[in-house]
Amino acid sequence: MDKIPTETNKNDECKSEQTPDDVKKRRKLNRLLANLQVGGGTGGRCRSVIPQEPSWHLTGNEEGLDAKKEATKGGTKNEEMTLELAIIPLESDKPSAIPDATRSIIDNCVLSDLVEKSAVCRFCQGELKLSFQETVGIATLPRITCSSDDCCYVSGGKLPSTNFEKGKTKAKLTEFAINIQFVMSLMACGDGGTEAARILAFLNLPNSTTMGTYTFPMVEKEMDPIIVEVAEHLIHEQVLREVKEATKGDKNFNYEEWLEAINDDTKIYPTVKFPRLAVTMDGAWNQRSSGRTYNSPSGFAILVGTHTWMPIAFSLRSTFCRVCSRRNGRKAQSDHKCEVNHEGTAGAMESAALLTMTHHLYDKYKIVLNTLSQMMTAQ
C-alpha cells in the first residue's frame, strides 16, 4: 500500500499550506490505517473471534493521492481529505469455528414448483412432482414421482436416522434425529410439549396438535434413560476429581487404594480412611411457587464440591407419575417404571434429597461429608 505523507514529512511541499483541520484529519486517518493493519479493525485489540492472520488487505487509490498533491501545490485548499480504500477478502484455509447448517425451513409450494419446472424424469423425460406424504413427528419424508402415465418412476428420500430400535410395522418417532433434536432443544430451554406445539403451530409445521400430548412425551420417555446415564457418567468423573483435589497433600490418604476400593465391592475399606469432603447444596422446584403456595409435583437438588466447584451428586424428587395418574386411582400397571419417589410436601423435597445424596456418596463412593463445625475447625 502506498505510503501516505504526513505533516512531519520534511519533503512535503504542501506543509505550509495545511490548516489545523487538515492536520487533525491526516492524523486520524493514519491512526485508522494503523489499527486496521494491526488489530483487524478493532482498534488494535485482537479479539478471539478474529483469526491471527488477516483475511483481508487494503489498497489505496494512487490517483486520488496524486490529485491531492497537485491541488495543494496549486494553492487550492481542500475542505476535507478523502482516501478510497477497498477491503478485499482473502481465501483462508482454516476451518470456520461455526459449523455449516445442515437443515433449512423451505416452503413446500416453492420447493414443489422448483422441482416441477426445473427437473425431468431421467427415463421418459416427463415432468416430476414432489410430494410430502409421510410425516413422523416433524420428520417429513419427501417423495418424487413421474407425472407420465406410462412411467412408474418413484424416488423417496431418507432422513438422518438414529441408533434407536426401529419400528416393526411403522416408523417410530425416535428413528429420526430431527425429532430428538427438537425435543432436546426445548428441554434445554426449560420448556415442554406445550411450548413445542406452539412453535409448530406458528411456523405451520406438521403435527402441532399432537406434539404436546403424544410426540413430545414419547420422545422424552425414550431419551430420559440416556440423559440420566450421561449425567451419572459425568458425575462419576467429577467425584474422582473432587476427591483427588480435596485430598491433595494429605499423607494419610492413599488415592489409588480408595479408587480400587470403590471399584471392588468385595474389598473391605475401613471407615476411618473415607475421604471427607466439604460441599455446598442447592435445589429447586420444577413448578414456580406463588410465595404462599408450594405445591410443585417435582423438584431436584445437587451437591457441588468446594474444590472443583462441579456437581458431585444429584437427586430428583417426584410425587407424580403420568401412568399412575391415567389409572384414575386404580392399581397402577406393574410393568411401568413409576416416577413417584417422594411422600410429603414439596417443602420437604430439599432435605429428603440431601439425605439421599449423602447416603449415595457414602455407599457408592465411600465418602463422608463434613459438617459445618468440622469445616470451621479444618480452616
SS3 of the chain: CCCCCCCCCCCCCCHHHCCHHHHHHHHHHHHHHHHHHHHCCCCCCCCCCCCCCCCEEEEECHHHHHHHHHHHHCCCCCCCCCCCEEEEECCCCCCCCCCCCCCCCCCHHHHHHHHHHHCECCCCCCEEEEEEEEEECCEEEEEEEECCCCCCCEEECCCCECCCCCCCCCCCHHHEHHHHHHHHHHHHCCCCHHHHHHHHHHCCCCCHHHHHHHHHHHHHHHHHHHHHHHHHHHHHHHHHHHHHHHCCCCCCCCHHHHHHHHHCCCCCCCHHHCCEECEEEEEEECCCCCCCCCCCCEEEEEEEECCCCCEEEEEEEECCCHHHHHCCCCCCCCCCCCCCCCCCCHHHHHHHHHHHHHHHHHHHHCCEECCHHHHHHHC
* Structure-model confidence comparison of residues 372 and 205, the more confident one: 205
- How confident is residue 210, by pLDDT bands cut at 50, 70 and 90? very high
Q: Is the whole-model pTM more than 0.85?
A: no
23-27, 104-108, 175-179: segment of lowest average pLDDT:
23-27
Q: What is the pLDDT of residue 242?
A: 94
Give me the pLDDT at residue 379, please. 52
19-62 pLDDT, tens digit each? 777 777 777 766 665 655 444 444 444 443 333 444 443 344 44
Q: What is the pLDDT of residues 211-223, one digit of tens each?
A: 999 999 999 988 9
> Are 69 and 192 in a shared domain?
no
Mean pLDDT, residues 54-73 taken together: 45
* Domain shared by 75 and 118, yes or no: no
323 domain-assigned: yes
Is residue 251 located within the same domain as residue 373?
A: yes
Does residue 226 fall inside a structural domain?
Answer: no
| Domain, as residue range, for 36 | 15-89
In this structure, is residue 239 part of a structural domain? no
State mean pLDDT over 163-190: 88
Higher pLDDT, 100 or 19: 100
- The confidence score (pLDDT) of residue 345 equals 87
Candidate from 40-49, 95-104, 342-351 with smallest mean pLDDT: 40-49
Residue 234 covered by a domain = no
Q: Which of 182, 199, 219 corresponds to the end of one domain?
A: 219
In total, how many domains does the chain have?
A: 3
Residues 253 and 372 in one domain: yes
pLDDT at 261 over 80: yes
State whether 271 and 162 are in the same domain. no
- The DSSP bridge pattern shows strands 368-369 and 276-277 to be parallel
Q: Is 173 found in the same domain as 266?
A: no
pLDDT band at 297 (very low <50, low <70, confident <90, very high): confident
Q: Do residues 73 and 118 share a domain? A: no
On whether residue 338 sits in a domain, the answer given is: yes
Would you say residue 207 lies in a domain? Answer: yes
Q: Does residue 208 share a domain with residue 293?
A: no
Mean pLDDT of 78-86: 43
Residue pLDDT, tens place only, 123-145: 888 888 888 878 899 998 888 88
Do the domain assignments include residue 280? yes
Q: Please give the mean pLDDT across all residues of the chain.
A: 77
In a domain, 96, yes or no: no
pLDDT at 200 over 70: yes
